[in-house]
Structure 1
Amino acid sequence: MSCTIKDVARHANVSIATVSRIINNQVGYSEKTKKKVLDAIEELGYQPNAVARGLISKRTHTIGVLFPKLSSTLVTDLLSGIEKATHEAGSSVIVCHTESNGEKTMKYLKLLNEKRIDGIIFTSAPLLGEYYDYIKKMNVPMVLLSTETYAYPVPYVKVNDRHAAYTAAQFLINKGHKKIGMLCGNIEDAISGKPRFDGFKSALQDHSIPFDNSHVVFNRGFTFSDGMDGLRTLLQQVPDLTAVFAASDEMAMGAISSAYELGIKVPDDLSIIGYDNLSIANMSIPPLTTVAQPLTEMGEMAAKMLFELLDSEKTVESRIMPHKIVERKSVIAKEG
């Protein structure tokens, strides 16, 4: 049978209130008393009741994180940063897989409300009005991660997708490529799809390279299969491309696999640059040149901002995180 806080107090010969203050890091006891209580907790194997502590502190020391997709390697890197900061803050994480489904998202928000979580990190998807309204009624802070909103006053952590895509296209141009294609996500995706397309298009125009829609294949998402199928379509439309910008690393690796099946050598016949710098980018053959998002750092920053909101009445500033090109072996200079 598990012991209670009363058992700890009796064993240490102190009051229940003293044990409670020590467990909750409050003041009002000596170091000698603290040692007696901590020794009693260890000897008895006492585990503080999180629900009971929550009733006292009005905190459950738990945050909710909503992801539209759990199979992506990108999620692993973001979650790694979130968990690091959350663990350091003495809290834990509940991860919810929404599948970008409105009904499922609302069910998860209701579940998180029942669990009385302290705050929410909402990732990689548009923040719809019904989500915002419900979270506001929950009266908990929220931080957006790898997404943003202009409609609601919610702080966010993300990379400037338009600028990062511009940087990728500019990198290919600086390598001497002029016949450049793009494997794009969903153009109706205002978070990642359209900004990355706009950045690619602007880079071509700014460097006096005529833009043609035939040089872009729009996909439903950013997956490996989108990259595989997309490259075949792209090369059918423009057979003499020398370089391709894929709007995600998964798409880029799908394109590399498709090129292999078509007998096209990367980078000798076709240079490919990705976007994200996932941990698997260094494992492809050839290793993938890509635009790096500091994903783990972004997750950690979002969690730290959330705890800052919890610990203070002040607002926090949104963060645009830096991106950079990580050059590996999938892009070479175009001669002539």
Structure 2
Amino acid sequence: MSFTIKDVAKKANVSIATVSRILNGQGGYSERTKLKVLKVIEELGYQPNAVARGLINKRTHTIGVLFPKLSSSLVTDLLDGIEKAANDNGSSVIVCHTESNGEKTMKYLQLLIEKRVDGIIFASEILKDEYYQYVAKSKMPMILLSTESYAYPVPFVKVNDFHAAYSAAKYLIDKGHTKIGMISGNKEDIIAGIPRIEGFKKALADHDIPLDDQNIVFSRGFTFPDGVEGLKRMVDQFPDVTAIFAASDEIAIGALSAAYQRGIKVPDELSVMGYDNLSLAEMSIPPLTTVGQPLAKMGETSAEMLFALLETGDTPESRIMPHKIVERMSVKERK
């Protein structure tokens, strides 16, 4: 038998409103009344209906998160942080896999709004006009994660990709390398592609390191296969290269694999550096030196910002998170 809030109120000899206030952590009752109601709830095995509670407090205690690719280790780390903050705030997470497909993204946004989630975290891809306009029209709170928008006033959480890529290239330069290549992501990607390319180029220019078309291989994305293909192209077009900065750890690990297949010893003959500090980075052979993004903390911060917005109604300030160089064994100093 399924019991209702009315059953709880009747057996505890209190009003339905009192039971509701106790369930929602509101005041207006004695500790004795609270204990009595909680005891009745336990005796009846009453489970509060989330939808009914949402009608009372205008919250469903769920948030929606949109990711372009769920198989990425980067997404796993970001989601760990989001779920931690959601759990701490008594909420659940609905995860949507958009595949960077515009039609699919719009369908998920429509679904989340129809389900009356409390807010949305939009992660790792460009916020297009149609997405923004649809969400803004619904007045749904939204935070951007690992992306940002120059066109729309949506708070974001991310690392400064230009600065982080500059730091990576400078690290290789400080290790004595002057023949440095980059395997980039998509050069049309304004979020992680262009800033990382420009940061790399700026570091070389500032240190008078020669730079031309042979220094950069442009990939379609940030995946392992992009790294495998990128290493082959880099070695062919820049045979003297001694160090490679890869625009993601997955690219870097692909490059390590391709180097092994070609008999190129890392780091003795070629140094390889990644970007992200995924858990895979310390599992690779050799363990990967990389630019660390605090991914779990970024996810947690984005969710905390969303919950703060829901509580106060005040738009939070965007957050640029710190990056750091994580030294392992894939980069060798040149004497």
When normalised by structure 2's length, the TM-score is 0.99
* Structure 2 residue ranges without an equivalent (≥5): none
Q: Aligned residue for 2:333?
A: 333
Deviation at residue 313 of structure 1 after TM alignment: 2.4
**Aligned-partner Cα distance in 1 for 2:225–2:39:** 57
Q: Does 1:41 align with 2:41?
A: yes
Match of 1:94 in 2: 94
- In 2, the alpha carbon distance for the partners of 1:264 and 1:300 equals 40
Which residue matches 2:61?
61
Aligned residue identity for 2:101: N
Match of 2:71 in 1: 71
Equivalenced residue count is 335
Deviation at 1:238, TM superposition (A): 0.8
- Residue 259 of structure 2 corresponds to residue 259 of structure 1: yes
Query: What is the aligned partner in structure 1 of residue 221 from structure 2?
Result: 221
What is aligned with 1:204?
204
Counterpart AA for 1:32: R
Structure 1: where are the runs of 5+ without partners? none
Pair 1:117-2:126 in alignment: no
Q: Which amino acid aligns with 1:277?
A: N
CA distance in 1, matches of 2:53, 2:46: 14
Question: 1 CA distance for matches of 2:236 and 2:329?
Answer: 25
Which amino acid in the other structure matches residue 6 of structure 1? K
1:235 maps to amino acid? V
User: Which residue of structure 1 aligns with residue 296 of structure 2?
Assistant: 296
Q: Which residue of 2 aligns with 1:32?
A: 32
Amino acid at match of 1:142: M
Distance apart, 1:26 and its partner CA = 1.6
Q: State the distance in 2 between where 1:162 and 1:87 align.
A: 33
Give the secondary structure class of the aligned counterpart of 1:153. coil
The CA deviation at 1:310 is 0.6
List, as ranges, runs of 4+ consecutive aligned residues in structure 1 with deviation greater than 6 Å: none
Deviations 1:174-201 (A, max 9, x none): 0000111100000000000000000000
AA aligned opposite 1:156: F
Paired with 1:8 and 1:21, the residues of 2 have a C-alpha distance of: 13
Cα distance between partner residues in 2 of 1:334 and 1:2: 72
For 2:308 and 2:26, locate their aligned partners in 1 and report how far apart those are by CA, in whole Å.
20
Counterpart of 1:220 in structure 2: which amino acid? R
> Is the contact made by 2:169 and 2:203 (CA closer than 8 Å) also made in structure 1?
yes
The answer to whether structure 1 residue 179 and structure 2 residue 215 are counterparts is: no
Paired residues of 2:267 and 2:332 also in contact (CA < 8 A):
yes
* Separation in 2, partners of 1:191, 1:174: 27
Residue of structure 2 in register with 1:147 after alignment: 147
**d(CA) in 2 for partners of 1:58 and 1:138?**
15
Tell me the equivalent position of 2:5.
Answer: 5
Give the letter for the 1:196 counterpart: R
CA shift for structure 1 position 10? 2.3
Partner Cα separation in structure 2 for residue 163 and residue 20 of structure 1? 50
Following superposition, the deviation at residue 13 of structure 1 comes to 2.2
Partner in structure 2 of residue 238 of structure 1? 238
Say whether the 8 Å CA contact 2:113–2:140 is kept in structure 1.
no
